[in-house]
Every structure is written in C-alpha cells, then in structure tokens.
Amino acid sequence: MNRGAPIDDAYIRDGFVSGNFDLLRIEGIKETESEWMLGRIYVDKHRPVFRWGWGFGLSNTSHFRSQRFSLDDIGRSGVAAIFHQFDEAEHGKPMVEMFAGWVPADEGAALDGWIAFMNSEIQKRLSTRP
C-alpha cells in the first residue's frame, strides 16, 4: 500500500527486490460466487465493498489503473495493475493506492481490458449506494 503518493517505479522496484511481487503475476480476472478478483484486490458483486485482506467501502474515486514500468537495473518490465482507493480531497486523509499485480509488457492490452471490466463493476456497486 502506498499512502499519500501515487505508486511509482521506486515502489515497484522495492516490491520485486524484496520478492513480494514475484507471486502477483495476473493471469486474468478470477470469480467466486460473491466477488471478482484482479490480482490481490477483490470487489464484491453485490455491495460497494472491496477486500485487500480486510473489507473496506468503495469511495466515489475508487478505480483500477494500469501503469507501465521498466526497471532495467533489476531486469523487470511490464504493466502494473494499481487500485486507487480514494483521493485525498474526498476524505481529508492522504490518498491510498495498492499494487494489485502485474503482467509482462506484451500482455498490457489484456490487462487494460480486465481493468475496464473491474472499473465498470465498481461503478455498478457505487450506483447502488443510497
């Protein structure tokens, strides 16, 4: 999780160097009876809630985005899926982003499609809020 600033190459590099991101290779959207999952972020199919370990409410600015990275010094490149939980202005707290996972660079178009699907599901959940 990155609080207060967008996720950048330095954050992604640290994740790969520590070994934490090696297992977060995304191969598509996974589905359970009650949730959609992209990388390590789960979005509820019925309520405006997402999970990253614990469950949290979706905000009006919650969305996934893709971000290319090229880390020549450690031999890594690809496209990251980033989950943006909320903007600072929305809650008066530092913004929060989470590294959901990554794909090799040549699979970036597929990731963009998965992100578009997840963002449409987030918007559907938000439209059900009172």
Distance (Å) of CA 122 to CA 18, 59, 68, 112: 31, 9, 23, 15
What pLDDT sits at residue 130? 66
Over the stretch 40-64, which tens digit does the pLDDT of each residue have? 999 999 999 999 888 888 999 999 9
**Average pLDDT, integer, range 78-92:** 82
SS3 109: helix
Please compute Rg for the chain using Cα positions: 14
- ∠ CA 35-64-58, rounded to 5°: 60
pLDDT beyond 90 at 113: yes
105-118 average pLDDT score:
98
Residue 104, Cβ neighbours under 10 Å: how many?
Answer: 12
pTM of the model: 0.90
Q: Measure the CA–CA gap between 12 and 5, rounded to whole angstroms.
A: 13
